[in-house]
Amino acid sequence: MQKGSQTGMAAEFLPPRILPSGDAAITVEFSRRIDDDANRRVLALDRRFKEEPIAGITETVPTYRSLLVHYDPLRIDFETLGSHLIALAAQPVTDAIASRHWRIPVAYGGEHGIDLDQVAKTLDLTPEALIARHTAPVYRVAMIGFTPGWSYLSGLDPALELSRRREPRLLTPPGTVSIGGVQTGIQCIAGPSGWHLLGRTPVRTYQFQRDPVFLLEPGDTISFHAIDAKTFDEMERAAEHGDIVAELAAS
């Protein structure tokens, strides 16, 4: 848990927990809850491995509040690697690293967002007010996971926090933009989901034949803007051919 923080400035934190994950991985846990400060520490530690590689580390996987570090136990042992991780995690964290800001188009409601009206009713909002609240914040990409390109975003308006569905759907469409708990997210490919579907975006956060294959990265920021069904169809056709229909702006 953190002692304190100031956005854009270094902060003092308690050390993370170093946890064994099988016989060839370590979890570096910075918090036990979803927390932007913890996520910044996760991403900062992940960057340090790219800047200062440690022999024996084979892969790192950043999440909301922890970093999973895979290693070769024949090249480095648990105790040695754990000591390195504690030392690296203790280094100051700043927001000096440049990030990218994306404007993501979303067709809200109707066939594109089948839960919008019910969610608005549950939250005692009009559909228009719900859309306005969902498009107002600047979100952070906290992690990518579950399925390729699935982007978990922090920064949801607390007024839109809503427990997940009691019965998850076995299949939801690609490009779904949804909310669940304190989060919102972008689902790139069709798959199961227990979140509430507000709309769809034509943006492909993952497209195998495109360069880059993954569009969004942890640490990027996002804002949503509403589009109509006709514009969605036009952008969808362009995205199918590999066009990046999101707008990239300086963060």
170 and 74 within one domain: no
Q: Which long-range contacts (CB under 8 A, 24 or more apart) does 68-74 make?
A: 68/21, 68/25, 68/26, 68/27, 68/28, 69/25, 69/26, 69/27, 69/28, 70/24, 70/25, 71/24, 71/25, 71/26, 72/24, 73/23, 73/24
108 and 168 within one domain: yes
38 and 84 within one domain: yes
Choosing from 60, 89, 118, the residue where a domain stops is 89
Query: What type of residue sits at position 145?
Result: G
73 and 45 within one domain: yes
| Nearby residues of 78 by Cβ (< 8 Å), 6 or more positions away | 20, 26
112 and 85 within one domain: no
In a domain, 37, yes or no: yes
181 and 104 within one domain: yes
70 three-class SS: strand
Choosing from 28, 59, 89, the residue where a domain stops is 89
121 and 53 within one domain: no
- pLDDT band at residue 27, thresholds of 50, 70 and 90? very high
Tokens standing for residue 132:
């306005």
124 and 242 within one domain: yes
208 and 130 within one domain: yes
60 three-class SS: strand
In a domain, 2, yes or no: no
Domain count, the chain: 2
pLDDT of residue 211 exceeding 90, the answer is: no
| pLDDT in the model for residue 95 | 58
155 and 117 within one domain: yes
In a domain, 3, yes or no: no
pLDDT of residue 10 exceeding 60, the answer is: no
Tokens standing for residue 68:
């999973």
Mean predicted confidence (pLDDT) in 22-35: 90
| pLDDT in the model for residue 91 | 82
- pLDDT band at residue 33, thresholds of 50, 70 and 90? confident
The CATH number of residue 150's host domain is: 2.40.100.10
Strands 151-154 and 169-172: unpaired
Q: Which domain holds residue 53?
A: 17-89
| pLDDT in the model for residue 250 | 58
Which residue, chain included where needed, has tokens 């504690």?
Answer: 86
Question: How far is CA 200 from each of CA 23, 49, 190, 234, rounded to the nearest angstrom?
Answer: 41, 35, 12, 13
Q: For all residues of the chain together, what is the average pLDDT?
A: 89
In a domain, 7, yes or no: no
230 and 117 within one domain: yes
| pLDDT in the model for residue 202 | 97
**How do residues 50-92 score in pLDDT, each as one tens digit?**
888 889 999 999 998 999 999 999 999 999 999 999 888 888 7
| pLDDT in the model for residue 96 | 53
Choosing from 29, 58, 89, the residue where a domain stops is 89
The CATH number of residue 51's host domain is: 3.30.1360.40
In a domain, 145, yes or no: yes
| pLDDT in the model for residue 98 | 63
204 and 138 within one domain: yes
- pLDDT band at residue 5, thresholds of 50, 70 and 90? very low
Beta bridge partners of 27: 19, 68
Backbone phi, psi, residue 207, to 5°: -150, 110
